[in-house]
């Protein structure tokens, strides 16, 4: 069983829709939770970073963490064609030398104009 | 805005050949990571450096892969000999430190194709 599970999609939505992306995890040792956006043939860029359970909002993006259910979500409001990318969830747990980041497989999102 | 630099951006090689990738982290970042991302999957850590020391290379195939960060700044990842299954994106990332709150910044990656 993978430590982090993420549906690879693809997910196709019309412009302006609310997008919901999700990940589940099995290891309660994860302490930090991130969402990265990756455009085709580019490196991942950090979108959201949370530590505790609850919601964190940044513009059109809201990250939600539910540690009791081992479930994290990313919501995108008023989605735009420029949001079309792969969204990777990632989580950090303690490791030798600090913390280790485990990534989900990524969900491919297409926003149609 | 400071960025992580990687070269080359693309590399095509034949199996059994040697390849090398270079990474220059953001200035002042003590922690450097090499990840491998196979198409359709998330990045997987190959090796983590703290300054010039390796702190995690548990997933590095040491029979063919090597990594170094001699002066604690830039780093090189080498594969010798390359195999067909090594075709992937190789990503370098850096952070100020190894702690949970330290953000990792990724470079553009090197896409390797092994023929």
Whole-number pLDDT of residue B59: 94
Decide if B45 is inside a domain: yes
CATH number where A104 lies = 2.60.40.10
Whole-number pLDDT of residue B101: 86
Contact yes or no for B103 and A46 at CB 8 A: yes
Q: Is A88 on the interface with B (CB under 8 A)?
A: yes
Comparing A100-109, B26-35, B83-92, B98-107, the range with the smallest average pLDDT is B98-107
Residue B98: Cβ within 10 Å count: 20
Q: Is A110 on the interface with B (CB under 8 A)?
A: no
Which residues of B have a CB under 8 Å from any CB of A? 4, 31, 40-45, 48, 50, 55-56, 91, 93, 97-101, 103-109, 111
For B52, the domain range is 15-97
Decide if B108 is inside a domain: no
Q: Is A15 on the interface with B (CB under 8 A)?
A: no
Contact yes or no for B40 and A95 at CB 8 A: no
Burial B21-34 (b: 16+ CB within 10 A, else e): bebbbbeebbbbbb
Chain B residues closer than 8 Å to A103 by CB: 42-44
More confident residue, A77 or B97: A77
Q: What is the pLDDT of residues A25-75, one digit of tens each?
A: 999 999 999 999 999 989 999 999 998 889 999 999 999 999 999 999 999
Asked if residue A96 has pLDDT above 90, the reply is no
User: Which of A58, A100, A104 to mutate to test binding with chain B, by most B CBs within 10 Å of its CB?
Assistant: A100
Whole-number pLDDT of residue A97: 74
Burial A60-89 (b: 16+ CB within 10 A, else e): ebbbbbeeeebebbbbbeebeeebbbbbbb
Whole-number pLDDT of residue A48: 94
For B42, which of A97, A99, A103 is closest by C-beta distance? A103
3-state helix, strand, coil split of chain A in percent (to 5) is 5, 60, 40
Contact yes or no for B50 and A41 at CB 8 A: no
Q: What is the pLDDT of residues B86-104, one digit of tens each?
A: 999 999 999 999 988 899 9
CA-nearest residue of chain A to B100? A99
Alpha carbon of residue B50 to chain centroid: 14
Shortest Cα distance from B99 to chain A (angstroms)?
5
β-strand partners of A91: A33, A102
Asked if residue B1 has pLDDT above 80, the reply is no
Whole-number pLDDT of residue B10: 97
Which run of H or of E encompasses B37? strand B31-37
Q: What is the pLDDT of residues B39-87, one digit of tens each?
A: 999 999 999 999 999 999 999 999 999 999 988 899 999 999 999 999 9
CATH number where B62 lies = 2.60.40.10
Total domain count, chain B = 1
Whole-number pLDDT of residue A52: 82
Q: Going by C-beta distance under 8 Å and a sequence separation of 6 or more, which residues neighbour residue B49?
A: B31, B32, B33, B55, B67, B69, B72, B75
State the virtual CA torsion across A34, A35, A38, A43 in degrees, nearest 10: -10
For A85, the domain range is 4-112
Total domain count, chain A = 1
Shortest Cα distance from A44 to chain B (angstroms)?
6
By the 8 A CB rule, do A27 and A75 touch?
A: no
The share of chain A scoring above pLDDT 70, in percent, equals 100
């Amino acid at each position: 069983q993978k430590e982090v599970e993420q549906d690879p999609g693809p997910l196709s939505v019309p412009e302006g829709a609310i997008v919901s992306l999700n990940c589940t995890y099995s290891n309660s040792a994860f302490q930090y939770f991130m969402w990265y956006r990756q455009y085709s043939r580019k490196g991942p860029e950090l979108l959201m970073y949370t530590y505790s359970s609850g919601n964190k909002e940044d513009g059109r993006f809201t990250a939600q963490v539910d540690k009791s259910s081992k479930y994290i979500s990313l919501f995108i409001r008023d989605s735009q064609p420029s949001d079309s990318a792969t969204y990777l969830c990632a989580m950090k747990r303690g490791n030798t030398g600090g913390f280790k980041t485990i990534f989900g497989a990524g969900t491919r999102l297409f926003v149609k104009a | 805005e400071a960025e992580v630099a990687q070269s080359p951006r693309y590399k095509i090689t034949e199996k059994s050949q040697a390849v090398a990738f270079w990474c220059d982290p953001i200035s002042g970042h003590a922690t450097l990571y090499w990840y491998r991302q196979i198409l359709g999957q998330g990045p997987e850590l190959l090796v983590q450096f703290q300054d010039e020391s390796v702190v995690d290379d548990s997933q590095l195939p040491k029979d063919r892969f090597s990594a170094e960060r001699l002066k604690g700044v830039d780093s090189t990842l080498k594969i010798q000999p390359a195999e067909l299954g090594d075709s992937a994106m190789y990503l370098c990332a850096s952070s100020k430190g190894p702690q949970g709150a330290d953000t990792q910044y990724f470079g553009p990656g090197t896409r390797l194709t092994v023929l």
